[in-house]
Amino acid sequence: MNKISIISIGNELLNGECTDTNRAWLGKELSCAGFCVVSGFTVSDEIDKISDAIEKAALDANVIIVTGGLGPTDDDLTRDAIANYLGVDLEYRSDLYAQIEDYFAKRRYKMIEKNKVQAYIPCAAEPLANPVGTAPGFVATKDNVLIAAMPGVPSEMKEMFTNKLLPILINRSRGDVFASKRVKCYGIGESNLNDKLGDLLRRGQNPLVNCTVNDSIITLHVIAHAENRKVAHKMVAKKIAEIEAIIGEFVFGFDDDTLVSVLARELAERGKTVTTAESCTGGLIAKMLTDVPGASEYFNCGFVTYSNNAKESLLGVDCGLISQKGAVSSEVAQAMATGALQKSDSDIAIAVTGIAGPTGGTAEKPVGLVYISVATKSKTIVKEFNFVHNRSTFRSRAALKALDMAKKVFSATV
Amino acid sequence: MNKISIISIGNELLNGECTDTNRAWLGKELSCAGFCVVSGFTVSDEIDKISDAIEKAALDANVIIVTGGLGPTDDDLTRDAIANYLGVDLEYRSDLYAQIEDYFAKRRYKMIEKNKVQAYIPCAAEPLANPVGTAPGFVATKDNVLIAAMPGVPSEMKEMFTNKLLPILINRSRGDVFASKRVKCYGIGESNLNDKLGDLLRRGQNPLVNCTVNDSIITLHVIAHAENRKVAHKMVAKKIAEIEAIIGEFVFGFDDDTLVSVLARELAERGKTVTTAESCTGGLIAKMLTDVPGASEYFNCGFVTYSNNAKESLLGVDCGLISQKGAVSSEVAQAMATGALQKSDSDIAIAVTGIAGPTGGTAEKPVGLVYISVATKSKTIVKEFNFVHNRSTFRSRAALKALDMAKKVFSATV
C-alpha cells in the first residue's frame, strides 16, 4: 500500500501569510482514493531545507508529494532540491518550453525570459502538464520512492493532481483495485446522520464509508477494494443502495453533483428558466447558478436588490409593505419572488432577504434572520431561518437553502 | 533569536478531515511578534511519530510548539511523547485536576474518569492554564530548547497562546525583533515584477522581500529585523518606499486590503454608489461588492443580464446593436454600463460581457474574450481582454479586472 508524505514549500506557509489548504485537500482526496497519508512537512524556500524534508519523508513514505516552489523566481527551488535528492542534473525540455510559450501566446502576454527556468526538470523525470498555469509538475522515482512535484497555486495543483498524478498513483498500486463513489447529502446534520447510519459507518469494513462535511453539504465516500474493478463497482452500488434506503430523502446527488448542478440539470432538461431576487446574498445565488457551464439555457437574468428603493423600482415591491413589515419579512420575501417572476418572465423565482451582519440586527430581527421565498406561476412558498454565523457563512448557508427549496418546489411542479 | 518549529498532531490533519488553521494563525502571530518560524511538521496520533518529529524539529529550532493530542482519549499521546523526549515521567498534578473539576462543575457537566489523564504533565514542566477547555498545556526546557504543548482546538489554543505562551516567549527573546508589512499589487505578472524589482528580491537581505501570488494578486511581504521595534518599522517603511518608486502604479493597498475593500472604502468615504451589469460574471461582482460589511452604504442594486433579452429589457440596450455587433462586443459592454448607470441612478457602473466557456466561442470571438466597461456620469471607458482560463478562473479574473478599472476611474473622478 502506498504511504504518502506531503511536503508544502513556502515561507508564506510558515509565517502564516497563507493557510495551507492544499494539505487538507490532498489529504482528503488521497484518503478517499484509498491511500494513507503518513506525514507532513512545511518548509521554507531554502534548498537545503527542502532536500532535508525529502530525506526525512523518504524514511517512512514510498510516495512523496511536494507542492510549491515551482514558480519562475529565485526563491522557487523545488526543481533543484529534487534533482539533488535524485542525484541528477536539471534538464532543459524544449517540449515544456513550447507549452509555456503557448500558455503566454494564448493569453497574448509576452513571455518573460525568467519563465524559461520552468522548462527545466530533473533528468529522467516525467513531466506533468499544467494546462492552467506556467509551471509544469513532474514525477521521478528513486529507490522505489516516487516523488512528485506540483505547483502550490491551489487551482493548478488540483487540476494536475486529479488528471495527472492520481491516475499514476492508482496505476502504481497493483492487484488490489478499488472503486469509489461519493453520495452528496443536504438538510441533515452530521451527528443525526451518524445516528441514522450507525453500523454502516463502522471503521475497517469493505466497502468503507467515510463521511466529510463541507459548508453544510455532507459527502459520504463509499470505497470498495476488490480483485477487479467490476466487482469493486458492484460492491459500491450495493452499499449506496443500503445508504439510500435509510437517508434517501437527504441525498441530492453523487460525485461532483452540487445543489446547483442538480437544479441546473433539471431546469435545462425541462426547458425551464429560473431568476433570482437577492438582498442579503447580494448576487451569490445568481453567481452560483451561472457557475455551471451552459447556464444560459435556464438563466436569463437576476436582480440584486440591496436597497429598499431597488426592491420597489426593479421588482415592484410595494413601498407601503416594506415600511409596514420591514425589508426583512416574510411578506417582502414573497413580493420579491413574485415580482422577479413577473419582471423576468421566468418559470421559477428565488428571493432572499435577511440580515447578514455583523451590524443591522435588532432584538426582534437579529443578525442571521433570513426569509427565503420561491415562486412559480402556480404557487409561492416562504420560509424563515436563522443562520447564526459570520457574514460569509451566513450568505453561503442562505444561498444553499434557497437552491434546495427551489429544487424541491421545481421537482414537485409537474 | 528564537527559531520556532510548529508540530501539529492529529490523523484528521493528515487525511484532510480538518484544515490545519492553527499553523497559519500561529505563524502570523509569531511573525508579527518578531519570531521566525523555521519548520513545520504534521504528525499522526502515534507516540513514536510525535517523538520523532520533536527530535527533527530540535535540530534547527530552539522553540518547539506542539498543538493537539492533549485530549482525554487513548489516541491523545502528546503528553507521553514529550515526557519521552525530556527523559522524565508524567506527574499527577492535583492543582490541574482541581481546574478540570472546576471546569465541569461550572458547566454543570459530570466529569468523566477519562479526563483525569489531563491532570498529568511531564515532571518539571510548567503548566499553561486553559480557562476555556479541559486540557491544560505546558512548557518545559531541554538542552536550551523550549518545548510547549497546547490543545488543538483553535479557540483553546488561541487563548492559551496569547495569554500564557506568548509572554513566556517574549521574555525569553532578547535584542532581535522584527516588523513586517504586506504590499498588495495587481495588474503585473510575477516574472515581470521580478524583473522590475531585481535586486530588491534577492535572498538573504534585511529587510527581506518575499513574493506570493494568489488569484492574480501579488503580495510582497517586507520583513525587517532590528534591535527594536521602532527601527524595524522604519526599515520596512523605507523598503516599501523603494518598492513603490518602481512599481507604485500596481500597488493598490497594504496588509489585509483587497481590490474590493479599497474600492468600497473610497466609495463610502465619498458617499458615492456603484452598480453592476453582469453577463458572463453572472453576479460575481455584485457578490464581491456585498461581501464587505456595510455594503449598503455604496451599493443599491445590481443587474445580472445573462440573455440578450435581459440586456434590452433591464438595461435598455438597443436590440439592433446586439444583433449588429454581438452581445460580446465593446459597444454592448458600453451600452450595458450606461444603461445600468441610468436605471439604478448610481454614480458609477461596472459592466462585463464575455465568453466564459467552455462552449460558445468562435474563431473570431474565442472563449476567454471579455469586454469590461466602466461608466460615470461624465465618461465611459471600455477595454477588451483575453482571459484564457477555465470558467471559474475566467470569471474571477474578469471580476478583479473590472473592480480595478472601476477603482482607477473612480480615483480619477473629482
CATH code assigned to B3-172 = 3.40.980.10
Q: Which residues of B touch A215 (CB under 8 A)?
A: none
Q: Give percent above pLDDT 70 in chain B.
A: 98
Mean pLDDT for the stretch of residues B128-157: 93
Q: Which residues of A touch B358 (CB under 8 A)?
A: 293
- State which CATH number among 3.20.20.70, 3.40.50.720, 3.30.70.2860, 3.40.50.1820 fits the domain covering A177-254: 3.30.70.2860
The tens digit of pLDDT for each residue in B200-252 reads: 988 778 888 878 777 889 989 888 888 888 898 999 999 999 999 999 999 99
Residues of chain A with pLDDT under 50: none
Burial class (CB in 10 A: 0-12, 13-18, 19+), B105: exposed
Chain-chain contact of A306 with B301 (C-beta, under 8 angstroms): yes
B329 to chain A, minimum CA–CA distance in Å? Answer: 18
Chain-chain contact of A31 with B16 (C-beta, under 8 angstroms): yes
ipTM exceeding 0.90?
no
Q: Which residues of A touch B195 (CB under 8 A)?
A: 112-114
Chain-chain contact of A24 with B13 (C-beta, under 8 angstroms): yes
**Which residue in chain B has the smallest CA separation from A276?**
B304
For residue B1, what pLDDT band results from cuts at 50, 70 and 90?
A: low
Q: What is the pLDDT of residue B168?
A: 87
How does strand B177-186 pair with strand B217-226?
antiparallel
Q: Which residues of A touch B182 (CB under 8 A)?
A: 17
CA distances from B211 to A408, B189, B222, B240 (A): 48, 11, 9, 13
CA dist B248 and A388 (Å) reads: 41
Q: Which residues of B touch A72 (CB under 8 A)?
A: 190-191, 194
Does the pLDDT at position B174 exceed 60? no
A244 to chain B, minimum CA–CA distance in Å? Answer: 23
Which CATH superfamily groups domain A259-412?
CinA-like (3.90.950.20)
Which of B38, B314, B344 is the closest to A301 by Cβ? B314
Q: Structural domain boundaries of chain B?
A: 3-172, 177-254, 259-412
**Which residue in chain A has the smallest CA separation from B46?**
A38
Cβ(A77)–Cβ(A69) under 8 Å? yes
The tens digit of pLDDT for each residue in B277-311 reads: 999 999 999 999 999 999 999 999 999 999 999 99
User: What phi-psi label fits residue A216: left (phi over 0), alpha (psi between -120 and 50 degrees) or beta?
Assistant: left
Q: What is the pLDDT of residue A31?
A: 83
Measured distance between the N- and C-terminal CA atoms of chain A, rounded to whole angstroms: 51
Q: What is the 3-state secondary structure (H, E, C) of A142-159?
A: ECCEEEEEECCCHHHHHH
Q: Which residues of B touch A300 (CB under 8 A)?
A: 306-307, 309-310
Q: What is the pLDDT of residue A414?
A: 55
Q: What is the pLDDT of residue B330?
A: 98
Q: What is the pLDDT of residue B48?
A: 93
Mean residue pLDDT of chain B comes to: 92
C-alpha torsion A92→A97→A98→A101, nearest 10: -160
Report the SS3 class of residue B243. Answer: helix
Report the SS3 class of residue B130. Answer: coil
Task: Determine phi and psi for B368, rounding to 5 degrees.
Answer: 110, -20
Cell numbers 460525485: residue:
A255
Chain centre distance of CA B303: 30
Total Cβ atoms within 10 A of residue B60: 12
Mean pLDDT for the stretch of residues B317-329: 96
Chain-chain contact of B300 with A283 (C-beta, under 8 angstroms): no
CB pairs under 8 A between A and B: 287
CA dist A291 and B295 (Å) reads: 23
Cβ(A5)–Cβ(B9) under 8 Å? no
Which of B201, B284, B386 is the closest to A74 by Cβ? B201
CA dist B190 and B48 (Å) reads: 42
Chain-chain contact of A303 with B301 (C-beta, under 8 angstroms): yes
Chain-chain contact of A40 with B43 (C-beta, under 8 angstroms): yes
Q: Which amino acid is at B161?
A: F
For residue B176, what pLDDT band results from cuts at 50, 70 and 90?
A: low
Strand residue runs (E) in B81-125: 90-92, 120-122
Chain-chain contact of A286 with B289 (C-beta, under 8 angstroms): no
CA dist B269 and B252 (Å) reads: 17
**Which residue in chain B has the smallest CA separation from A295?**
B306
Q: What is the pLDDT of residue A175?
A: 53
**Which residue in chain B has the smallest CA separation from A117?**
B191
Q: What is the pLDDT of residue A26?
A: 97
CA dist A3 and A38 (Å) reads: 6
Q: Give percent above pLDDT 90 in chain A.
A: 71
For B356, the enclosing helix (H) or strand (E) is none
Chain-chain contact of B23 with A29 (C-beta, under 8 angstroms): no
Q: Tell me, what DSSP letter sits at residue B382? A: E
Q: What is the pLDDT of residue A226?
A: 83
Q: What is the pLDDT of residue B175?
A: 54
Total Cβ atoms within 10 A of residue A343: 19
- Angle among Cα A116, A80, A82 to the nearest 5 degrees reads 125
Q: What is the pLDDT of residue B28?
A: 85
CA distances from A179 to A191, A235, B55 (A): 26, 9, 39
